[in-house]
Amino acid sequence: MSLPSGCLIILGIIHLLPTARSLSSDVVYTSEFFSQIQQQLSFYNWYGNARLFQFRVPPDTALLRWLLQASRDKADCNDAEITVHFRHGAPPVINPLGTAFSAATRVPYSFNMTMTFTNSLNNNTFLNITNPEPGDWYIVAHLPRDPEKIQIQGFTSSCKYFFQPDLFILREVDIPILQADTPTQKTLSQSGSSASFKMFIPEYTRELRLQLQNCTLDTTRVPCPLLVTVGSISELPSAQRTMNCSENPECALLLHSPPWGKWLNVLVEIPQGINSSVSFEILHKTSACKPGKVMSRRSAFTLMEQAILKAAKNATQADTNETQLLAVGSGSCLNKYPLIREDLDVVSVRFQSVKNPYVAVSAEMPSIMLLNLDSDMDSGGMLKISLQLNKTTMGNSSATVIACLSADSPVLTFNTSQNCATAFSQGYTLLMDRSMADVSLNIPFPVTASWYLSMQLLCPLNDSDCQSLSPRVLFGSALSPCEDNCGPNGDCRLLRRNGYLYAACSCKAGWAGWSCSDNSKVLSYQQQLVATLLLTLSNFMFIPTIIVAVYKFYFVEAAVYAYNMFFSTFYHACDQPGDAVMCIMDYDTLQYCDFFGSVVSIWVTILCMARLKKTLKYVLFMLGTLLIALSMQLDRKGIWNMMGPCLFALVILVITWTYRGVRRRHCYPPSWKRWLFYLVPGISLALIALSIYVFAQTNTNYFYTHSLWHIMVAGSVAFLLPPRDKKKKPWDFKQLLGCRYKICHDDREELFVAT
């Protein structure tokens, strides 16, 4: 039994209230609720089968609770698992099929959970996250791997699964703001109570030092018995920084490269078991690492204008010596190289250096470049970084150039551990030396943030000459919808969820992977050619059927079979996923003509078996063909577009055969040879073909089973066509050649008598 959505909302809010009272004391809370419409889930074959949901979490959120509602339309379905992925800042990068990524691709982390149906129609699950990172959160839900069984619409029974997430938000109001170098006094009165603070991290902050001092327990000076948590949760497990002051007498936390231009949350708690009030002071200090040199604003504008004019004048010259607009000051600890962001198209951006693509790297301080991906549309593509070390600028040194790509803040301190970690996240590392000068990095669905690329020269020990080196690195970066446009083995598809756009690769011919680079199950060209020939040449089985129809004077039926054979052949030649493809018309036109010709062929065959009068037969031919053309336009893949005309024609067949049998008081058709050698084999072939079409076809064996369907249907038609009218004489080619203008013998006699 399922609960109404209103009851679930009330239940979620009730569950929030006890948690809210335990979060922080002396803080006002407010709640909000967000919901999105449910979507029908699909079995997973590529990223387009997954259903994406986007929620925007406001700042100062203390707790969010997701209500995940999954349902299905039937209770007698097999047990199925729904996998739900979560990620902050960008859609989750998922790999349910276990395919391989390209060598240069690094997969961002996202956490997931599963929801299972066991003899029920609904599954409602709650997920709580305390102190979540504000901004966009993305949810992706999908069913397991596609079973590859080709479902016939309207014939095979399949379960429908639906998924809808709702979000409950609990926000803190008027959180105290910590000012740098200014202590803030606070008192916690009972066990389990807490206090929330927030502080702003300016740009170019190198280090952040947070300290609790002057702690008193019931007016007695003691070491701080408190727990401190800094940061917000953007993934599970959490990347927050925690400190137990009971184990750290100084009660200080040092953070390298905290996120620039953002607010940091600080939570101070009293551990369980302490029933006395605790007073403390909280203080934070920052140290900056600013580029450039101290000068007046007018001087800076003048230098920049001169540098831009010089760059425009020498745009065609490859100058590898000057790459900065402003000189580096004596007190600076980084070199910053400005980049131009050039928006090309949807989810398509190119970054270029202001003057030239070469970046100077030194051992003294890091070289920093900002890649601004702060637009909502920037997280739906592929970020590519390519670096090429100029070997001649390295001399004979065995030094290494390290490059770190990180979000929100750059890596400003490098060491021999080659760890590209910032305060709350792990960056991406690239290493270059004389033996490996070219490196590249691909990041699918980069988070919406300011990305920084830091580079520095790491010298070996006791190598004094290395300190004076200044190697040059050729830099290139771009954001594209798909990696290399999915290559020749796939198509880059632009997907949309409400107003959000993102891209994914749809692979073909057995290729798989995020960029269609996994060839573990790829079809060779020979296999593709065999599959194409099977599907096309099997239609030539209609040639004997056409000959039989013409021999029996069924010219209209023969024309329909020829039409069906022609368009079925070229539709399957165009419908192949690989390189063995030939399209003589638009794909949609070929598909329509193939489906239309197949149904009309069945329609005219059954009516022909009914042995109706010519006038009535041809009226039904035309009327049925017009109605079939209409139904194919409405839904060409619906099973009833084929079964409807077939059943109606079978009803006409049964009525006419029953009428003749009753009238003649004998089974119709009367000849046992007709039943034994024609009707029974024809009906058997038709039933076997129908069984293969409905129950046996999968994506793997489609080439063989569908070819067998072509052969059996064409063969059954040849057997089922009724014999020639006894009143009609057999073919006499001499008579046809001797009769001019194709005037029949009876008409010629009538003209002679009239004369």
Q: Give the max Cα distance, the chain.
A: 139
The two structure tokens encoding residue 577: 């996923």
**Assigned fold of 525-720:** Rhopdopsin 7-helix transmembrane proteins (1.20.1070)
**pLDDT(24) > 60:** no
Beta strand 472-480 with 382-389 is antiparallel
More confident residue, 564 or 524: 564
Please indicate whether residue 345 or residue 642 has the higher confidence score (pLDDT).
Answer: 345
Q: CA dihedral in degrees (327, 331, 335, 341; nearest 10)? A: -80
Looking at residues 381-407, what average pLDDT do you find? Answer: 91
Give the residue from 573, 564, 568, 490 showing the smallest Cα distance to 531: 573
Question: Based on C-alpha coordinates, what's the Rg of the chain?
Answer: 38
Q: Are 536 and 499 in contact, with CB atoms under 8 Å apart?
A: no
Mean pLDDT of 703-730: 85
Q: What percent of the chain has pLDDT over 90?
A: 47
Mean pLDDT confidence for 137-155: 79
Query: Which pLDDT score is estimated for 23?
Result: 53
184-288 CATH, one of 1.25.40.390, 3.40.50.300, 2.60.120.680, 1.10.8.870: 2.60.120.680
Query: Is 279 in contact with 187 (CB distance < 8 Å)?
Result: yes
Residues in Cβ contact with 234 at an 8 Å cutoff, skipping those fewer than 6 apart? 88, 89, 132, 133, 424
Q: How far is CA 75 from the centre of its chain?
A: 29
Q: What is the mean pLDDT of residues 122-138?
A: 92
3-class secondary-structure state, position 309: helix
Q: Hey, what's the torsion of the CAs at 512, 517, 520, 525, to 10 degrees?
A: 90
Q: What is the mean pLDDT of the chain?
A: 84
Average pLDDT over residues 180-184: 91
Which one has a higher pLDDT value, 744 or 561?
561
178 phi and psi angles, rounded to 5 deg:
-85, 130
Tokens representing 31 are: 């709640």
Residue spans of the domains in the chain: they are: 5-173, 184-288, 318-480, 525-720
**pLDDT greater than 90 at residue 662:** no
Q: Above 90 in pLDDT, residue 603?
A: yes
> What is the phi/psi pair of residue 149, to 5°?
-75, 125
Q: In this predicted structure, which of 58-72, 99-113, 243-257 has the lowest mean pLDDT?
A: 243-257
Contact of 430 with 276, CB cutoff 8 Å: no
Confidence at residue 316, expressed as pLDDT on a 0 to 100 scale: 47
Contacts for 535 with CB less than 8 Å, ≥ 6 apart: 572, 573, 575, 576, 703, 706, 707, 710
Q: Is the peptide bond before 481 cis (omega within 30 degrees of 0)?
A: no
Residue 525 backbone dihedrals phi, psi, to 5 degrees: -65, -35
Task: Yes or no: say if 598 and 714 are a contact pair by the CB < 8 Å rule.
Answer: no
- Domain spanning 318-480: which superfamily? GOLD domain (2.60.120.680)
Q: Which CATH architecture has domain 5-173?
A: Sandwich (2.60)
Task: Please give the full DSSP string across 233-292, using - where no structure is assigned.
Answer: BSSSS---EEEETTT-TT-EEEEESPPTTEEEEEEEEPPTT--S-EEEEEEEEEEE---S
- Helix, strand, or coil here: 44? strand
Q: How many residues would you count in the chain?
A: 755
Q: Given this model, what pLDDT does residue 631 score?
A: 87
pLDDT, residue 307, reads 61
Buried b (16+ CB within 10 A) or exposed e, 465-498: ebeebebbbbbebbbbbbbbebbebbebbebebe
Contacts for 367 with CB less than 8 Å, ≥ 6 apart: 334, 335, 336, 337, 359, 360, 361, 454, 455, 456
Mean per-residue pLDDT, 559-565: 95
**Region of poorest pLDDT, from 59-68, 170-179, 268-277, 388-397:** 268-277
Span 652-673, average pLDDT: 86
- Euclidean distance between CA atoms 614 and 429, whole angstroms: 81
Strand partners, 140: 52, 85
Domains 5-173 and 184-288 in one fold? yes
